[in-house]
Amino acid sequence: MVKLNSHPAGRHFLQIPGPSTVPDRILRAMDYPTIDHRGPEFQALGKKVLADIKTIFQTANPVVIYPASGTGAWEAALVNTLSPGDTVLMVETGHFATLWKKMADKLGLNAEFLGGDWRRGADAAQIEARLAEDKEHKIKAVCVVHNETSTGVTSDIPAVRRAIDKANHPALLLVDTISSLGSIDYRHDEWGVDVTVSGSQKGLMLPPGLSFNAVSDKAIAASQRAGLSKAYWGWGEILEANKNGFWPYTPATNLLYGLSEACDMLAEEGLQNVFARHQRHAAATREAVKAWGMEILCQNPAEYSGVLTAVVMPRDASGQHYNADAFRKAVLENFNMSLGQGLTKLSGWVFRIGHLGDFNDLTLMGTLAGVEMGFEVAGVPHQKGGVLAAMKHLTATAGNNEKLAKAA
């Protein structure tokens, strides 16, 4: 007897805000025999990816690449620049900012958290005021998440840099770009960031497994006096080995093949075109959400994310939100599409639509059609026409990525 629906036909739509879908071109690049990581062939690969990744961070300084998740890069950023008991100023913009703060606590840092409502980005004025109060310069670093994956809110990093400068404060600026690098415009050098943290599985279109620290001269100087214990995460040995294209331990060779290909793909499209494409798809998604009569979690249009849109479920007659997880389950079971869940404070009443990475107009239309059909089968009240509204936006702006890139 044949089991019905044992293997759904067609591709699975992975529309969570990362890991993003890995394009065939990168999969083929990784499908290659592992080579000697001490030999000349690997050395050429190492030198290439170490040079190419700088262009993605928009930096002339070194970028450290770890065989690790983004969480590892968080830890590396902290332990290389800080000492036990140091005060760090962190900003509560969502779930991942909260996790980074918890890590700082575990490492023995004095993590001071500026509270937030998870619907807005970092408040530069609030940061400036707190730093201005710190006359003794006890605060050694300011830590901000650029694009909060749990909320769809992007913080203004240049404004944070200006806030630090206006306060005439020497604190380091550490920024998480795990869900924004390669998708949203980010400029490590120009914006005066000291350590930029990122990961491979979102805008870089790779599987999870690589993480990054882009480091300024000031951060490297701080690492010479930092007192937190480190071994695997220490920048010194890695940077020295990287000079010749190698690592001081076994690197993730096949992921580096993929990284090389990903950098080539982003360069071929042009970074500014990539950023414009993401913003255009995000705008079309928001048109759909508004047409459905639903609320976008992010409350400041200037902070809308180009990577994902977090949607608030409508309320029933009793004032309770319709269950976002029951809706997501209906979408998965009926249309073979995964949407992002609401995390911690947002659990059960928010879902997230990812629109990042190797993503085009038809992928977005399929995604939004799956959401709108999901509302219908799950019994979630909504207005019709969200897909049509997004389609109108896309057709009106078709071919505009290069124009949008030039305007930016």
One-letter identity of residue 237: E
Owning domain of residue 204: 32-267
H/E stretch holding 340 reads strand 337-341
Q: Are residues 108 and 242 in the same domain?
A: yes
Cα separation, 406 vs 273, in Å, equals 8
Cα separation, 197 vs 180, in Å, equals 10
User: Cis bond leading into 40, ω under 30°?
Assistant: no
For the whole model, what pTM was predicted? Answer: 0.95
Last residue of one domain, picked from the residues 218, 233, 267: 267
Residue 8 lies in a domain: no
**51-74: pLDDT as tens digits:** 999 999 999 999 999 999 999 999
**332-362: pLDDT as tens digits:** 999 999 999 999 999 999 999 999 999 999 9
pLDDT exceeding 90 applies to what percent of the chain?
95
C-alpha angle 26-11-182 in degrees, rounded to nearest 5? 40
Contacts with 165 (C-beta within 8 Å, 6 or more apart), sequence order: 192
Q: Are residues 241 and 306 in the same domain?
A: no
Q: Are residues 205 and 352 in the same domain?
A: no
- 3-state class (DSSP) for residue 95: helix
Question: Was 352 annotated as part of a binding site?
Answer: yes
- CATH number assigned to the domain comprising residue 181: 3.40.640.10
Residue 7 lies in a domain: no
Q: Are residues 190 and 301 in the same domain?
A: no
pLDDT exceeding 70 applies to what percent of the chain?
96
Total domains in the chain come to 2
Residue 83 lies in a domain: yes
- CATH number assigned to the domain comprising residue 389: 3.90.1150.10
Residue 1 lies in a domain: no
**228-279: pLDDT as tens digits:** 999 999 999 999 999 999 999 999 999 999 999 999 999 999 999 999 999 9
Q: Are residues 373 and 389 in the same domain?
A: yes
Q: Are residues 203 and 214 in the same domain?
A: yes
**206-221: pLDDT as tens digits:** 999 999 999 999 999 9
Last residue of one domain, picked from the residues 267, 302, 320: 267
Last residue of one domain, picked from the residues 240, 267, 294: 267
Cα separation, 236 vs 241, in Å, equals 9
**311 close to 297: Cβ distance less than 8 angstroms:** yes
Contacts with 113 (C-beta within 8 Å, 6 or more apart), sequence order: 90, 91, 92, 101
DSSP annotation of 184 reads: S
Average pLDDT over residues 376-382: 98
Q: Are residues 76 and 201 in the same domain?
A: yes
Could you tell me the sign of the dihedral formed by the alpha carbons of 394, 397, 403, 405, in that order? negative
Q: Are residues 141 and 286 in the same domain?
A: no
By DSSP bridging, strand 139-145 and strand 147-148 are unpaired
**244 close to 40: Cβ distance less than 8 angstroms:** no
DSSP 271-311: HHHHHHHHHHHHHHHHHHHHHTT-EES---GGGB-SSEEEE
Q: Are residues 163 and 307 in the same domain?
A: no
